A = this chain, B = another copy of it.
Amino acid sequence: MHLTIVPDVVRNQSIVDLPASATALQAAQFMVDRDTAAVVILDSSRRLIGIVTERDLTRRVLAQGRDPATTPLEAIMTRNPDTLSPQDSALDALELMNVRRYRHLPVVDDGKVVGMVSIRDLYATVKAKLEEDIREAEAFAFGDR
């Protein structure tokens, strides 16, 4: 089985990004608006500098009693996050996310963010492929082709 991040998992995705100067409150509201659990933080050249997730908002803002309206994302973002490239194997990415307990990883191509992979998307892709492999193996075993 060989599946790659692009095009098997991610295709033509819109990027959900904010600048590091945006606040935790703005990030939370943006996540609601865009129905997402993670935003990438880009600099003025639209280079990736960080990532902020619902988990970061819970652990680094709420749990620490910070004021979301005045806490900038640069204070709570995960800097220089691990990333995937479009050519990466979906199975390798899944392993990385399981081992490091990531739920989201940005996909970067030639310095530009081109998408975000969630572990849910990855699992769904890998599971569909495994099921197809099983059907093929069974068809072969039972002589359906």
The interface residues of chain A, by DSSP majority, are classed as helix
Judged by a CB distance under 8 angstroms, whether A131 is at the interface is: yes
Select A65's contact among B25, B65, B138, beta carbons within 8 Å: B25
Give A98-117 interface residues, CB cut-off 8 Å to B: 98
**Number of copies of chain A assembled together:** 2
Q: How far, in whole Å, are A134 and B129 apart by their CA atoms in the complex?
A: 11
Do B124 and A98 touch across chains, with their CB atoms under 8 A apart?
A: yes
Specify which chain B residues have a CB less than 8 angstroms from the CB of A20 in the assembled complex: none
Which of A10-18, A52-60, A77-85 forms contacts with chain B? A52-60
Judged by a CB distance under 8 angstroms, whether A49 is at the interface is: no
Select A63's contact among B28, B37, B131, beta carbons within 8 Å: B28
Judged by a CB distance under 8 angstroms, whether A24 is at the interface is: yes
Say which size band chain A's interface belongs to.
20 to 34
Select A127's contact among B28, B31, B54, B123, beta carbons within 8 Å: B123
Do A25 and B58 touch across chains, with their CB atoms under 8 A apart?
A: no
- How would residues 107 to 145 of chain A score, 1 for a CB under 8 Å from any chain B CB and 0 otherwise? 000000000000110011011001101100110110000
Judged by a CB distance under 8 angstroms, whether A3 is at the interface is: no
Judged by a CB distance under 8 angstroms, whether A61 is at the interface is: yes
Specify which chain B residues have a CB less than 8 angstroms from the CB of A28 in the assembled complex: 58-59, 62-63
